[in-house]
Amino acid sequence: VEFLYCDLASMKSIRQFVQRFRAKNCPLHVLVNNAGVMLVPERKTEDGFEEHFGLNYLGHFLLTNLLLDTLKQSGTHSHNARIVTVSSATHYVGTLHLNDLQSRCSYSPHGAYAQSKLALVLFTYRLQHLLTANGSHVTANVVDPGVVNTELYKHVFWAVKVAKWMTAWLFFKTPEEGASTSIYAAVSPEMEGAGSCYLYNEKRTKSADVAYDEDLQRRLWTESCKMVGISDESSRVP
């Protein structure tokens, strides 16, 4: 195990991390996008992005795109490289505001969090479409870990914290249980060659209907490229 520092809330840190990783000349067989904040008060990343959207979504969007060449080189016909992105059931109630992705008009912690998780699902489906169109030996899937007993809930209302403290043992998954579906997506032989799957409890299930909107997927991808400052190679793919 080797640790390399990367701050997903900083585009500069992400680029520096990718440079350090590439310098090692290592293959990359599995990338798990799992960083996140939830229900934080309104604030911005160092790049000026609303924190939920900037860290939960744009950080992973840039990291994945910068590592795509290495992933493509590492995958083979019999053993695809795998991208696993962690979303949430909250995406089912999310709305993507393409004209206000930074929630500047009206800020809601719940709305901003749900939007970031919906964006991750849309991103995964568009990414798999592009990978397939290019004949790449890389798959992209999205995971719902369930309700897990972690520090992610530190910004919720105090009454919710009390309820969580009293009932976590009964209703919440342990971190180990929460990680099981991500691990399944990353290493299970059953997932070899499978992409664009939404997984919950190690089973394929249906995501929100809006997540399958291909036009919305394309528009979000194009806008995301502009926001993080990378070229939109997808413009040549239908």
Q: With 70 as the cut, is the pLDDT of residue 237 above it?
A: no
Catalytic residues: 113
Q: Residue 225's pLDDT band (boundaries 50, 70, 90)?
A: very high
- Our CA angle for 91, 230, 103, nearest 5°, is 40
Q: pLDDT digits over 135-187, tens only?
A: 999 999 999 987 644 554 444 444 444 444 445 444 565 767 778 899 999 99
Three-state SS string over the chain comes to: CCCCCCCCCCHHHHHHHHHHHHHCCCCCCEEEECCCCCCCCCCECCCCCEHHHHHHHHHHHHHHHHHHHHHHHHCCCCCCEEEEEECCHHHHHCCCCCCCCCCCCCCCHHHHHHHHHHHHHHHHHHHHHHHHHCCCCEEEEEEECCCECCHHHCCCCHHHHHHHHHHHHHHCECHHHHHHHHHHHHHCHHHCCCCCCEEECCEEECCCHHHHCHHHHHHHHHHHHHHHCCCCHHHHCC
Band of pLDDT at residue 238, cut at 50, 70 and 90: low
How far apart CA 155 and CA 149 sit, in angstroms, is 14
Report pTM. Answer: 0.89
* Whole-number pLDDT of residue 20: 98
- Model pLDDT for residues 31-89, shown as the tens digit of each residue: 999 988 888 889 999 999 999 999 999 999 999 999 999 999 999 999 999 999 999 99
Question: What pairs with residue 204 in β-bridges?
Answer: 199
